[in-house]
């Protein structure tokens, strides 16, 4: 169980600085979440201006 970042991501970086376990990093064209570290808190989803992070439950 983790969140993933869809292609809607505009690489603003807002989610990365808000993630409590710092598992979001800048990737190729979008930010990416380390699924093994993500605790599914939902903070990235509520922070993102374009709704790119979604739960993969």
- Binding residues vs ligand SF4 (CB under 6 A): 3, 5, 9-15, 19-21, 23-24, 31, 33, 38-44, 47-48, 50, 52-53
Distance from chain centroid for Cα 28: 14
Rounded least distance, CB 51 to ligand SF4, Å: 8
Place of tokens 């690489």: 11
Distance from chain centroid for Cα 24: 6
- Of 28 and 43, nearer to ligand SF4 (C-beta) is 43
Strand partners, 3: 55
Rounded least distance, CB 25 to ligand SF4, Å: 10
């Amino acid at each position: 169980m983790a969140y993933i970042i869809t292609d809607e991501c505009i690489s603003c970086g807002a989610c990365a600085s808000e993630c409590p376990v710092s598992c979001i990093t800048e990737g190729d064209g979008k930010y990416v979440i380390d699924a093994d570290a993500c605790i599914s808190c939902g903070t990235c989803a509520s922070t993102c201006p374009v709704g790119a992070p979604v739960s993969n439950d």
